[in-house]
Amino acid sequence: MFSKGSKQSNDAPPAAAEKSGGLLKSLKRGLSKTRDLLLTDVGDLVPRGGKIDEAALEELENRLLQADVGIDATSAILDNLRERARKAGDGDPGDLLRAAMLDILAPVAQPLDVSTANKPFVIMAVGVNGVGKTTTLGKLGAHLRDSHHKVLLAAGDTFRAAAIEQLQEWGERTGLPVIAQSHGSDAASVVFDAIHSGRARGSDVVLADTAGRLHTKDYLMTELKKVRRVIDKIEPRPDYEVLLVIDASTGQNALVQAKEFHQAIGLTGIVLTKLDGTARGGIVFALAQNLGLPIRYIGVGERIEDLRPFDAESFVDALLAQ
């Protein structure tokens, strides 16, 4: 029922086919656990050319919820699918599902633009412990470097043991300079120094790491607010991104984290990591439906190139691929 029809792949232009070759293959591999949970045996519910009925929709609802799409996003997908099926009549069910999913994800698939008149552009990574903030910044730094941006890393996680050393290792691996102070230093001071150092060096982007903190601990959030205040007071004030890094395997708890961080400090984007290790990849839909924040990147593996800009069409195609 919910596999894509052959018409789309046959009509794909050469550029689209080339794009899907590497990107789609990587995404299919990274989303395999979520795809298997969502689609296993569901294709038997409606034969090719058949009609979408309530029994098929009920089964799809169960699978969407199991994949952590969430109640709100699941309801939106099903309502959209019902309406499309009513209008399309004998339209291919897989194509209709694809369109319903894209209606949710397309608005949040907004690439990160680091161009600014007041260089450097600052990206502050926030999130709870263990989500992969430092690794994400290292990979992002490599991507920006390869896109001909001059990048500086700021070791703003002065709390976690070995966090500074980990970022310095990424600096050595990618050839990017790192601004760091001693363990236990004030994080806002580190970021302040990094921004001024970046201006002196002619850096295009400063990537600032921060200590992991529980979204439920107000006193830990206070430090992040301080970092933002320090950035806001710099003249001329640099443009910046507050990027929440989330572990996809936490499922609906990721949505709770995002809401708390957004309320506390104001987020401007999301990175969803570790999609390759979980069947809960549907959390992307929950985040899009409930928050509407731009999803900048997704992580689908350990390699640097497995951190990818979020592309709604490629994501849905990989999720529905057979």
Query: Which residue numbers belong to the known binding site for GTP?
Result: 127-134, 209-213, 273-276
Q: Using an 8 Å Cβ cutoff, are 105 and 315 in contact?
A: yes
Distance from CA of residue 322 to its chain's centroid? Answer: 24
In sequence order, the β-bridge partners of residue 179 are: 154
The CA–CA distances, whole Å, from 174 to 128, 137, 141, 151, 154 equal 25, 11, 8, 10, 14
Query: What CA–CA distance (Å, rounded) separates 258 from 181?
Result: 29
Q: Using an 8 Å Cβ cutoff, are 125 and 170 in contact?
A: no
Query: What CA–CA distance (Å, rounded) separates 209 from 127?
Result: 10
Q: Which contacts (CB < 8 Å, 24+ apart) does range 50-55 have?
A: 50/1, 50/93, 51/85, 51/90, 52/1, 52/81, 52/82, 52/85, 52/93, 52/96
Token representation of residue 116: 């600014």
Tell whether omega for the bond before 13 is within 30 degrees of 0, i.e. cis: no
SS3 5: coil
Mark the binding-site residues, compressed into ranges: 127-134, 209-213, 273-276
Token representation of residue 74: 């699941």
> Dihedral (C-alpha) 217, 222, 227, 230: value to the nearest 10 degrees?
170
Among candidates 136, 188, 134, which has minimal Cα distance to 161?
Answer: 134
